[in-house]
Structures are given as structure tokens and as C-alpha cells.
Amino acid sequence: MKFSKNFERDYNWYYKYRETFTFSGSIPRTIKNHPNGKSAKECFHLYDSQGKIAPCREPDLLSQILLCKESVNFQIKEWAQDRAIGYLPLVEFETIIEEYELLEWMINAVERQKCKYYKIE
């Protein structure tokens, strides 16, 4: 199966940080383990593009990748809130960017979402 460059970039990032970003606040989804199922990468692609979970021959890895994705999305919201209220100045956020090698779309999401959290009095 051939994947797009963007998908490969994102999947590789999630794979690398799957043991770092492990909290999303969501209930873990059930993944059917099947020895003849798709790989974790193929299942993740199916989920990411169509929202479907197929039987998987690597269910533990798929669970980690999905949790990492959910956790990063949760963290983007938290960083955006902290940026908006001044708890996370840009210089400190840049340290986080470097430490976790955040992808450009993640950085942009934080900066776009922070305007939702500005307090108007």
C-alpha cells in the first residue's frame, strides 16, 4: 500500500512519540486482533482517512498510535489555552516545539486555536 508523504510524516511522528503522548481523556476503542488483519499502519490510515477501524494484526501498536494522535490533539488544545492566557509564552512554546519536533500543522493549530481562548472583558 502506498501512502502520501503527509501521512508518512504524521505516522512516523506518532510512532516516534507513542510512548510520550499517552493521555487523551478518551475511552480507548476496541480493536479486533486478527492474525491475517491489516498492519497497524494500514489500519491507522483507514481510520485517519475514513474513520473506520479494521481487524489488525498489530492491535497494541495501533492502540498506541491512536492514543498518541488523540493525546496530541488534546495537548494542542491545552497549549492553545495556555498561549492565550499567557501561561505559555512563545519562547517557552518554542522549547516544546524543539523538544518534541512538533510538526508545522501542530504549531499552526495551536496558534490558530489560541484566539478561541482569549478573554474578552
Q: What three-state secondary structure class fits 94? A: helix
pLDDT score recorded for residue 91: 96
pLDDT score recorded for residue 119: 62
Q: What three-state secondary structure class fits 56? A: strand
Q: Give helix 59-85 / helix 90-100 axis angle, nearest 10°.
A: 170
pLDDT score recorded for residue 75: 97
SS (H, E, C) 9-39: HHHHHHHHCCCCCCCCCCCCCCCCEEEEEEC
pLDDT score recorded for residue 121: 45
Task: Determine the Cα–Cα distance for residues 84 and 90; give it in Å rounded to an integer.
Answer: 10
| pTM: predicted TM-score of the whole model, two decimal places | 0.90
Q: Mean pLDDT of residues grouped by 10 in the chain (121 residues)?
A: 94 98 87 95 96 95 96 96 94 98 98 81 45
Residue 24, domain extent: 5-117
Residue type, 68: C
pLDDT score recorded for residue 117: 80
Q: How many domains does the chain have?
A: 1
